[in-house]
Structure 1
Amino acid sequence: MTTEDLSQERRDLLETLRTHRHFLRHTVQGLTEEQARTRSTVSELTLGGLVKHVAATESGWLDFVENGPATMAPPEDGDYSVWEDGFRLTDDETLAGVLETYDAVASRCDALVASVDLDHAWPLPAAPWFEPGATRTARRVFTHIVAETAQHSGHADIIREAIDGQRTMG
Protein backbone atom coordinates (compact mmCIF):
# COMPACT_ATOMS: atom_id res chain seq x y z
CA MET A 1 0.00 0.00 0.00
CA THR A 2 1.33 3.44 -0.89
CA THR A 3 0.70 6.68 0.95
CA GLU A 4 -1.63 7.74 -1.87
CA ASP A 5 -3.85 4.74 -1.07
CA LEU A 6 -4.46 6.05 2.45
CA SER A 7 -7.24 8.35 3.57
CA GLN A 8 -6.46 12.04 3.85
CA GLU A 9 -6.68 11.75 7.63
CA ARG A 10 -4.02 9.05 7.72
CA ARG A 11 -1.80 10.98 5.31
CA ASP A 12 -2.15 14.07 7.50
CA LEU A 13 -1.24 12.13 10.64
CA LEU A 14 1.82 10.62 8.95
CA GLU A 15 2.99 13.95 7.56
CA THR A 16 2.59 15.68 10.93
CA LEU A 17 4.43 12.90 12.77
CA ARG A 18 7.27 12.96 10.25
CA THR A 19 7.54 16.75 10.43
CA HIS A 20 7.90 16.85 14.22
CA ARG A 21 10.25 13.86 14.27
CA HIS A 22 12.40 15.70 11.72
CA PHE A 23 12.62 18.75 14.01
CA LEU A 24 13.73 16.60 16.94
CA ARG A 25 16.28 14.69 14.85
CA HIS A 26 17.58 17.92 13.31
CA THR A 27 18.11 19.41 16.75
CA VAL A 28 20.51 16.62 17.74
CA GLN A 29 22.33 16.48 14.41
CA GLY A 30 26.10 16.80 14.71
CA LEU A 31 26.26 16.49 18.50
CA THR A 32 29.11 14.82 20.30
CA GLU A 33 28.28 12.22 22.95
CA GLU A 34 29.28 14.75 25.59
CA GLN A 35 26.90 17.36 24.16
CA ALA A 36 24.09 14.78 23.96
CA ARG A 37 24.49 14.30 27.73
CA THR A 38 24.93 17.98 28.62
CA ARG A 39 22.48 19.73 30.92
CA SER A 40 22.57 23.24 29.47
CA THR A 41 19.73 24.67 31.57
CA VAL A 42 18.55 24.25 35.15
CA SER A 43 16.42 21.36 33.90
CA GLU A 44 17.63 17.77 34.23
CA LEU A 45 16.81 17.26 30.53
CA THR A 46 19.49 16.50 27.97
CA LEU A 47 19.20 16.13 24.22
CA GLY A 48 20.00 12.42 24.23
CA GLY A 49 17.60 11.89 27.10
CA LEU A 50 14.81 13.67 25.24
CA VAL A 51 15.21 11.49 22.15
CA LYS A 52 15.25 8.40 24.37
CA HIS A 53 12.13 9.58 26.22
CA VAL A 54 10.20 10.41 23.05
CA ALA A 55 11.04 7.02 21.56
CA ALA A 56 10.02 5.18 24.73
CA THR A 57 6.81 7.16 25.12
CA GLU A 58 5.83 6.59 21.51
CA SER A 59 6.59 2.89 21.84
CA GLY A 60 4.51 2.66 25.02
CA TRP A 61 1.52 4.24 23.34
CA LEU A 62 1.91 1.91 20.36
CA ASP A 63 1.83 -1.04 22.75
CA PHE A 64 -1.41 0.41 24.12
CA VAL A 65 -2.92 0.72 20.62
CA GLU A 66 -2.03 -2.89 19.85
CA ASN A 67 -2.58 -4.59 23.21
CA GLY A 68 -4.59 -2.37 25.53
CA PRO A 69 -4.25 -0.87 28.98
CA ALA A 70 -2.19 -3.57 30.69
CA THR A 71 0.82 -2.33 28.72
CA MET A 72 0.63 1.08 30.40
CA ALA A 73 -0.17 0.19 33.98
CA PRO A 74 1.96 2.01 36.55
CA PRO A 75 4.38 -0.15 38.54
CA GLU A 76 2.56 -1.93 41.35
CA ASP A 77 5.48 -1.42 43.72
CA GLY A 78 5.60 2.33 43.04
CA ASP A 79 9.20 2.13 41.80
CA TYR A 80 9.51 4.72 39.04
CA SER A 81 13.30 4.46 38.67
CA VAL A 82 12.95 2.87 35.23
CA TRP A 83 10.76 5.80 34.21
CA GLU A 84 13.35 8.26 35.54
CA ASP A 85 16.10 6.50 33.57
CA GLY A 86 13.98 7.11 30.48
CA PHE A 87 14.99 10.77 30.54
CA ARG A 88 18.75 10.25 30.44
CA LEU A 89 21.34 8.29 28.54
CA THR A 90 22.80 5.58 30.72
CA ASP A 91 26.51 4.76 30.56
CA ASP A 92 25.93 1.96 28.04
CA GLU A 93 23.79 4.07 25.68
CA THR A 94 24.78 6.40 22.85
CA LEU A 95 22.96 9.07 20.92
CA ALA A 96 23.35 6.99 17.76
CA GLY A 97 21.79 4.02 19.54
CA VAL A 98 18.75 5.93 20.78
CA LEU A 99 18.29 7.48 17.33
CA GLU A 100 18.34 3.99 15.83
CA THR A 101 15.71 2.90 18.35
CA TYR A 102 13.67 6.02 17.56
CA ASP A 103 13.77 5.20 13.83
CA ALA A 104 12.46 1.69 14.52
CA VAL A 105 9.67 3.05 16.74
CA ALA A 106 8.76 5.64 14.10
CA SER A 107 8.52 2.94 11.42
CA ARG A 108 6.30 0.86 13.68
CA CYS A 109 4.09 3.87 14.39
CA ASP A 110 3.78 4.78 10.73
CA ALA A 111 2.70 1.22 9.91
CA LEU A 112 0.05 1.36 12.62
CA VAL A 113 -1.23 4.77 11.49
CA ALA A 114 -1.65 3.28 8.03
CA SER A 115 -3.41 0.12 9.15
CA VAL A 116 -5.29 0.21 12.46
CA ASP A 117 -8.90 1.14 13.01
CA LEU A 118 -8.52 4.74 14.17
CA ASP A 119 -11.81 4.52 16.08
CA HIS A 120 -10.78 1.46 18.12
CA ALA A 121 -10.66 2.47 21.78
CA TRP A 122 -9.22 0.96 24.91
CA PRO A 123 -9.87 2.03 28.50
CA LEU A 124 -6.94 3.77 30.12
CA PRO A 125 -5.37 2.00 33.09
CA ALA A 126 -5.98 3.29 36.58
CA ALA A 127 -3.29 5.88 37.21
CA PRO A 128 -3.18 9.26 38.94
CA TRP A 129 -2.52 11.04 35.63
CA PHE A 130 -5.56 9.57 33.81
CA GLU A 131 -9.17 10.53 34.43
CA PRO A 132 -10.98 7.54 35.97
CA GLY A 133 -12.93 5.60 33.35
CA ALA A 134 -11.37 7.44 30.39
CA THR A 135 -10.68 5.73 27.08
CA ARG A 136 -8.40 6.54 24.16
CA THR A 137 -8.97 5.81 20.51
CA ALA A 138 -6.04 4.98 18.27
CA ARG A 139 -6.63 8.36 16.60
CA ARG A 140 -6.28 10.19 19.90
CA VAL A 141 -3.14 8.21 20.75
CA PHE A 142 -1.54 9.27 17.47
CA THR A 143 -2.44 12.92 18.04
CA HIS A 144 -0.98 12.62 21.55
CA ILE A 145 2.26 11.27 20.04
CA VAL A 146 2.34 14.32 17.73
CA ALA A 147 1.88 16.65 20.71
CA GLU A 148 4.49 14.83 22.80
CA THR A 149 7.03 14.97 19.97
CA ALA A 150 6.35 18.64 19.23
CA GLN A 151 6.59 19.62 22.90
CA HIS A 152 9.89 17.84 23.40
CA SER A 153 11.26 19.17 20.11
CA GLY A 154 10.77 22.64 21.58
CA HIS A 155 12.57 21.60 24.76
CA ALA A 156 15.38 20.17 22.66
CA ASP A 157 15.69 23.36 20.65
CA ILE A 158 16.21 25.43 23.81
CA ILE A 159 18.75 22.97 25.20
CA ARG A 160 20.67 22.87 21.91
CA GLU A 161 20.73 26.64 21.58
CA ALA A 162 22.17 26.88 25.09
CA ILE A 163 24.91 24.35 24.19
CA ASP A 164 26.25 25.84 20.98
CA GLY A 165 23.85 28.47 19.65
CA GLN A 166 22.29 26.24 16.99
CA ARG A 167 18.56 26.65 16.50
CA THR A 168 16.25 24.30 14.65
CA MET A 169 14.38 27.09 12.92
CA GLY A 170 15.58 30.61 12.35
Structure 2
Amino acid sequence: MTPETEAILTALREARRLLLITTTDLKDDQLTERSTVSELTLGGILNHLTRAERVWTQILTDTTGRTPEGMWDTGQYLTPGGATVAGLRTPYEEAARATDEAAGRMRPEAEARLPETPWEPGVVRHWPARRILLHLLQETAQHTGHADIVREAIDGANSTARR
Protein backbone atom coordinates (compact mmCIF):
# COMPACT_ATOMS: atom_id res chain seq x y z
CA MET A 1 0.00 0.00 0.00
CA THR A 2 1.35 3.42 -0.87
CA PRO A 3 1.76 6.10 1.82
CA GLU A 4 -0.85 8.20 0.00
CA THR A 5 -3.43 5.40 0.06
CA GLU A 6 -2.64 4.69 3.71
CA ALA A 7 -3.17 8.37 4.57
CA ILE A 8 -6.53 8.50 2.80
CA LEU A 9 -7.66 5.23 4.37
CA THR A 10 -6.60 6.47 7.82
CA ALA A 11 -8.86 9.51 7.42
CA LEU A 12 -11.67 7.32 6.07
CA ARG A 13 -11.33 4.91 9.00
CA GLU A 14 -11.60 7.83 11.42
CA ALA A 15 -14.82 9.03 9.77
CA ARG A 16 -16.20 5.49 9.93
CA ARG A 17 -15.17 5.19 13.59
CA LEU A 18 -17.05 8.38 14.43
CA LEU A 19 -20.16 7.05 12.68
CA LEU A 20 -19.97 3.85 14.70
CA ILE A 21 -19.45 5.86 17.90
CA THR A 22 -22.57 7.85 17.04
CA THR A 23 -24.58 4.63 16.76
CA THR A 24 -23.17 3.05 19.93
CA ASP A 25 -25.87 2.15 22.48
CA LEU A 26 -28.56 3.05 19.97
CA LYS A 27 -31.82 1.17 20.42
CA ASP A 28 -33.30 -0.66 17.43
CA ASP A 29 -36.44 1.49 17.46
CA GLN A 30 -34.28 4.63 17.20
CA LEU A 31 -32.99 3.53 13.78
CA THR A 32 -36.12 4.89 12.08
CA GLU A 33 -36.67 7.95 14.26
CA ARG A 34 -36.73 11.23 12.35
CA SER A 35 -35.45 13.91 14.68
CA THR A 36 -35.18 16.78 12.19
CA VAL A 37 -37.23 18.03 9.26
CA SER A 38 -35.08 15.84 7.03
CA GLU A 39 -36.10 12.33 6.04
CA LEU A 40 -32.69 11.07 7.22
CA THR A 41 -32.61 8.47 9.96
CA LEU A 42 -29.68 6.71 11.56
CA GLY A 43 -30.73 3.43 9.96
CA GLY A 44 -31.00 5.12 6.58
CA ILE A 45 -27.55 6.64 6.93
CA LEU A 46 -26.01 3.28 7.87
CA ASN A 47 -27.83 1.58 4.99
CA HIS A 48 -26.68 4.23 2.50
CA LEU A 49 -23.04 4.20 3.62
CA THR A 50 -22.92 0.40 3.53
CA ARG A 51 -24.18 0.52 -0.02
CA ALA A 52 -21.69 3.29 -0.88
CA GLU A 53 -18.78 1.18 0.40
CA ARG A 54 -19.96 -1.81 -1.64
CA VAL A 55 -20.65 0.17 -4.81
CA TRP A 56 -17.33 2.03 -4.81
CA THR A 57 -15.42 -1.17 -3.99
CA GLN A 58 -17.02 -2.85 -6.98
CA ILE A 59 -16.13 0.12 -9.17
CA LEU A 60 -12.53 -0.03 -7.91
CA THR A 61 -12.19 -3.73 -8.68
CA ASP A 62 -14.39 -4.30 -11.76
CA THR A 63 -12.79 -3.22 -15.02
CA THR A 64 -15.95 -3.71 -17.10
CA GLY A 65 -17.76 -0.55 -16.01
CA ARG A 66 -20.85 -2.55 -15.06
CA THR A 67 -23.32 -0.67 -12.94
CA PRO A 68 -23.11 -2.08 -9.41
CA GLU A 69 -26.32 -3.60 -8.13
CA GLY A 70 -28.44 -1.04 -6.31
CA MET A 71 -26.30 1.92 -7.34
CA TRP A 72 -29.27 4.01 -8.36
CA ASP A 73 -31.72 2.55 -5.82
CA THR A 74 -33.75 5.40 -4.36
CA GLY A 75 -34.48 3.34 -1.24
CA GLN A 76 -30.87 3.32 -0.11
CA TYR A 77 -31.52 6.14 2.37
CA LEU A 78 -34.27 4.18 4.10
CA THR A 79 -33.95 1.85 7.04
CA PRO A 80 -34.72 -1.69 5.85
CA GLY A 81 -37.81 -3.20 7.46
CA GLY A 82 -37.04 -5.16 10.63
CA ALA A 83 -33.51 -3.76 10.80
CA THR A 84 -31.54 -3.93 14.01
CA VAL A 85 -28.57 -1.84 15.05
CA ALA A 86 -26.26 -4.86 14.95
CA GLY A 87 -27.84 -5.95 11.66
CA LEU A 88 -26.83 -2.63 10.06
CA ARG A 89 -23.49 -2.02 11.80
CA THR A 90 -22.02 -5.45 11.01
CA PRO A 91 -22.53 -5.25 7.22
CA TYR A 92 -21.17 -1.70 7.30
CA GLU A 93 -18.00 -2.84 9.04
CA GLU A 94 -17.65 -5.77 6.59
CA ALA A 95 -18.10 -3.48 3.59
CA ALA A 96 -15.52 -1.06 4.99
CA ARG A 97 -12.97 -3.86 5.40
CA ALA A 98 -13.58 -4.95 1.80
CA THR A 99 -13.00 -1.38 0.59
CA ASP A 100 -9.75 -1.15 2.57
CA GLU A 101 -8.52 -4.46 1.17
CA ALA A 102 -9.34 -3.50 -2.42
CA ALA A 103 -7.77 -0.06 -2.06
CA GLY A 104 -4.66 -1.55 -0.51
CA ARG A 105 -4.03 -3.57 -3.66
CA MET A 106 -4.27 -0.55 -5.99
CA ARG A 107 -1.99 2.30 -6.93
CA PRO A 108 -3.59 5.71 -6.26
CA GLU A 109 -3.34 6.63 -9.94
CA ALA A 110 -4.93 3.37 -11.17
CA GLU A 111 -7.94 4.23 -13.28
CA ALA A 112 -11.37 2.73 -12.65
CA ARG A 113 -14.14 2.91 -15.19
CA LEU A 114 -17.30 4.45 -13.77
CA PRO A 115 -20.69 3.08 -14.77
CA GLU A 116 -22.88 5.13 -17.05
CA THR A 117 -25.22 7.50 -15.27
CA PRO A 118 -28.92 7.74 -16.05
CA TRP A 119 -28.49 11.45 -16.76
CA GLU A 120 -25.61 10.96 -19.25
CA PRO A 121 -26.13 7.65 -21.04
CA GLY A 122 -23.24 6.64 -23.26
CA VAL A 123 -20.70 8.89 -21.50
CA VAL A 124 -17.69 6.92 -20.25
CA ARG A 125 -15.68 8.33 -17.36
CA HIS A 126 -12.63 7.07 -15.51
CA TRP A 127 -11.53 8.10 -12.04
CA PRO A 128 -8.23 7.28 -10.38
CA ALA A 129 -8.46 5.17 -7.22
CA ARG A 130 -7.41 8.19 -5.13
CA ARG A 131 -10.44 10.17 -6.35
CA ILE A 132 -12.77 7.30 -5.54
CA LEU A 133 -11.33 6.98 -2.04
CA LEU A 134 -11.49 10.74 -1.50
CA HIS A 135 -15.11 10.73 -2.68
CA LEU A 136 -15.93 7.93 -0.24
CA LEU A 137 -14.16 9.83 2.54
CA GLN A 138 -16.16 12.99 1.77
CA GLU A 139 -19.42 11.06 1.63
CA THR A 140 -18.71 9.25 4.89
CA ALA A 141 -17.64 12.40 6.72
CA GLN A 142 -20.69 14.32 5.50
CA HIS A 143 -23.14 11.64 6.57
CA THR A 144 -21.31 11.06 9.85
CA GLY A 145 -22.02 14.71 10.64
CA HIS A 146 -25.67 14.19 9.71
CA ALA A 147 -25.81 11.13 11.96
CA ASP A 148 -24.34 13.06 14.86
CA ILE A 149 -27.04 15.74 14.54
CA VAL A 150 -29.83 13.16 14.20
CA ARG A 151 -28.57 11.17 17.20
CA GLU A 152 -28.13 14.22 19.41
CA ALA A 153 -31.68 15.33 18.60
CA ILE A 154 -33.01 11.86 19.47
CA ASP A 155 -31.46 11.37 22.90
CA GLY A 156 -28.71 13.93 23.47
CA ALA A 157 -25.89 11.50 22.63
CA ASN A 158 -23.18 12.57 20.23
CA SER A 159 -19.82 11.32 19.02
CA THR A 160 -17.86 14.06 20.76
CA ALA A 161 -19.09 13.03 24.19
CA ARG A 162 -18.46 9.34 23.44
CA ARG A 163 -14.84 9.53 22.15
Q: TM-score, normalised by structure 1?
A: 0.84
For the aligned residues, what is the CA RMSD?
2.3
The reply to whether residue 38 of structure 1 matches residue 33 of structure 2 is yes
The reply to whether residue 105 of structure 1 matches residue 92 of structure 2 is no
SS of match in other structure, 2:112: strand
Q: Which residue of 1 aligns with 2:2?
A: 7
Contact 1:51 1:102 in 2 (8 A): yes
What is the 5 A alignment of 1:51-70?
Answer: 51-68=46-63, 69-70=65-66
| CA–CA distance in structure 2, aligned partners of residues 160 and 99 of structure 1 | 15
Matched letter for residue 160 of structure 2: M
**What is the CA distance between 1:98 and its match in structure 2?**
1.3
Q: Which residue of 2 aligns with 1:120?
A: 110
- Structure 1 residues without counterparts, runs of 5 or longer: 1-5
Matched letter for residue 102 of structure 2: L
Corresponding residue pairs, total: 159
SS of match in other structure, 2:82: coil
Q: Percent identity?
A: 33
Alpha-carbon distance change, 73 to 93 in structure 1, aligned in 2, over 3 angstroms: closer
Alpha-carbon distance change, 114 to 51 in structure 1, aligned in 2, over 3 angstroms: same
| CA–CA distance in structure 1, aligned partners of residues 54 and 42 of structure 2 | 18
Q: Which residue of 2 aligns with 1:135?
A: 126
Matched letter for residue 133 of structure 2: F
| CA–CA distance in structure 2, aligned partners of residues 32 and 40 of structure 1 | 14
**What is the CA distance between 1:74 and its match in structure 2?**
8.3
More divergent stretch after superposition (121-130 vs 91-100): 121-130
Residues 11-47 of structure 1, C-alpha deviations (whole Å, 9 max, x = no match):
2122111100011111111111111110111111100
Runs of 4+ in 1 over 6 A off after TM superposition: none
**What is the CA distance between 1:55 and its match in structure 2?**
0.9
Alpha-carbon distance change, 73 to 88 in structure 1, aligned in 2, over 3 angstroms: closer
Q: 1:149 aligns with which of 121, 127, 140?
A: 140
Q: Which residue of 1 aligns with 2:150?
A: 159
Contact 1:73 1:126 in 2 (8 A): no
- Structure 2 residues without counterparts, runs of 5 or longer: none
**What is the CA distance between 1:89 and its match in structure 2?**
1.7
**What is the CA distance between 1:119 and its match in structure 2?**
1.6
Alpha-carbon distance change, 20 to 117 in structure 1, aligned in 2, over 3 angstroms: same
